Amino acid sequence: MSFKVERNDKVGRYAVASRDLEPGETFLEELPIAVGPKSCSPLLCLGCYTYVDGSILCSQCRWPICSSECGLNPLHAEAECKVFSSAKVTFQLQEDPSAPSPQFECITPLRVLLVKESDPERWEREVGPMESHCKERKAEQEWNTEQVNIVDFLLKKCKLNDRFNDELIHFVCGVLETNCFEVKTDNGKPIRGLYPQLAILSHNCVANTTHSVIPQNDYRVYVRTTIKVQAGQELFSSYTYSIAPTLTRRANLRFTKYFDCNCKRCSDPTELGTHMSSLKCTKCDNGLILSTAPLDPEAKWNCNSCEFHLTADQVKRIYKLIESEIEQLESLPMVDYTIEQGEKILRQYRSVLHPKHAFNTSIRHSLVQLYGRANGYTFEDLPDILLERKIELCEQILSVINVIEPGYSRIRGLILYELHVPFMLFTRSRYEYDEMDKAIFCSKMEEVVNILQEAVIILSLEDPNTPEGSIGEMGQTSLEQLKASLEILKS
């Protein structure tokens, strides 16, 4: 075992490395207790999780599937299918299959409950000790909704009151809400999975681990380090989106996980020097507006160069306005999300947001995927000035990512890969126009090789069936070709 579980009064159970772990080293493999639809899920196949319209139903239980083959999938056939068939509970088709389906709320909790019967030893060892936060959740409206859609449905409609009870089902609902991880299926659809060992790792807004779930391998999760972790150091994962400002991250964690993050990043008004929360002062030339107490969501925000200040509510309103614009843009299909729209928002809030603000970083992340691919902006179309623009965007993102997701993180690998092509094309263009000599050109191309090599090292850690793993394989081929061309050039 590469880690050991310890306990304290602050976080309960947590994991520490039991030996030195190198960057990219897998230290945990785990099969889920269960996988299934997320809360507020639209209609999807209960075998493969493809979105469906409800026109095809399982021949046994009459619940949505996409094909007769998926009706035989053990994830469905050996779980809820037997329960629904026995109780003769059929699915009630809804008018809009893309809308959240209240009937689907019970699926994942039921699959977890059934493990208590099929594998009681693992349940007692791994699920029983998990935190459910039932006391806090009982005071929320969602508790009453779960009582109707999940607890009453399973006990009364499905006639399981001789096997389970209210308290146990609410416990499972709480365990899922507090501990689940999002999982992408092999067709790219988001579901959720319960991984008790992975859930032991505490949260940190600068995690030192990442994980990959392989749907083709029974949704097994592989957890690995992103940086070197010495024996005795704590292992952290991230429970929230790292490219978000502190106010947003902490509110999300409080709402979904019932704790307040007090990590070094959250505690620092500058977010470890990244300024991902900082605003520009509109009353003086160089001032930045920072929270006076980042761990207090109601604290005042002061300019560091003049007397100007904002209340927390004012900052939240500014954030909400900008977030809504970004969400509207990112909700568009990629073919409708134009480079012009993204660049316009960056210009629009240039005088409001610090250049490295999380919102700017998020938009840049979308833009680097468009430059070189969007209609009219393929690499064949891009003039040198736009190649430089993509290089600039990648470097701006990396200046933030290198701090908040350092080492062998998935996003670092992807941005490094995005960087190497425009860097290479721009360098070749300068050389062809005699703006650099052969020695400088070779030196610059060595930089390209180093960038691509690091990207390949990181992305090759991903499963080849995933988009990231596929890019890693393509990058390896490109790397070999690039190295060979450079050797010929030097000879």
Closest CA to 172 of 238, 219, 116: 116
pLDDT of residue 212: 94
User: What per-residue confidence (pLDDT) applies to 9?
Assistant: 86
Calpha distance 394→194 (Å, rounded): 34
Predicted confidence at residue 94, as pLDDT, reads 84
| Nearest residue to 417 via CA among 464, 376, 478 | 478
pLDDT tens, position by position, for the chain (491 residues)? Answer: 799 999 998 888 999 999 999 999 999 999 999 999 999 999 999 999 999 999 999 999 999 999 999 999 999 999 999 999 999 999 998 888 889 999 999 999 999 999 999 999 999 999 999 999 999 999 999 999 999 999 999 999 999 999 999 999 999 999 999 999 999 998 889 999 999 999 999 999 999 999 999 999 999 999 999 999 999 999 999 999 999 999 999 999 999 899 999 999 999 999 999 999 999 999 998 999 999 999 999 999 999 999 999 999 999 999 999 999 988 887 776 666 789 999 999 999 999 999 999 999 999 999 999 999 988 899 999 999 999 999 999 999 999 999 999 999 999 999 999 999 999 999 999 999 999 999 999 999 999 999 999 999 999 999 998 899 999 999 999 999 999 999 998 87
DSSP letter, residue 38 = P
Q: Which residues contact 134 (CB under 8 A, 6 or more apart)?
A: 170, 171, 174
Q: Which of 329, 288, 330, 326 is nearest to 306 (CA)?
A: 288
Structure tokens at 252: 């999300």
- On whether the CB atoms of residues 240 and 249 are closer than 8 A, the answer is yes
CA distance 119 to 128: 12
Question: Model pTM?
Answer: 0.93
Q: CA–CA separation, 59 vs 55, rounded Å?
A: 12
pLDDT given at position 336: 64
Q: How far apart are CA 434 and CA 48, in angstroms?
A: 56
pLDDT at 322: 95
Amino acid of residue 136: E
Q: Can you say whether residue 327 is alpha, beta or left, with left for phi > 0 and alpha for psi between -120 and 50 degrees?
A: alpha
| Interstrand relation of 190-194 and 181-184 (parallel, antiparallel or unpaired) | antiparallel
Strand ranges inside 296-350, DSSP E: 301-303, 309-310
Instruction: Tell me the C-alpha distance between 237 and 62, whole Å.
Output: 39
